[in-house]
Amino acid sequence: MDWDHLEENWKHFAASVKEKWTKLSDEEIADLKGKREHLEAKIHEAYGHAKDEIKKDVDAWLTALKKKNDSL
């Protein structure tokens, strides 16, 4: 699974985003429409983490999703 797949199926993955980044509202997550840059910006806004840390966190989340989907 790549980011394009995730973006195309954003509604399906929104719950996982909410579970990982609980400070983001459902409305904020829906408004992201799967755009990675926007997700990273919202995480930065909500949590104040460094941008390189956020990129690593999003990469780790995506890797975990891939593993989960591969095991289904």
pLDDT tens string 14-68: 999 999 999 999 999 999 999 999 999 999 999 999 999 999 999 999 999 989 8
Q: Give this prediction's pTM.
A: 0.91
Block residue for tokens 């980044």: 21
- The domains located in the chain, with CATH, are 3-70 (1.10.1470.10)
Block residue for tokens 């104040």: 48
pLDDT value for 17: 97
**Distance of alpha carbon 55 from alpha carbon 59, whole angstroms:** 6
* Tokens (6 digits) for 57: 């966190």
pLDDT value for 6: 92
pLDDT value for 1: 74
Query: Across residues 4-13, what is the average pLDDT?
Result: 93
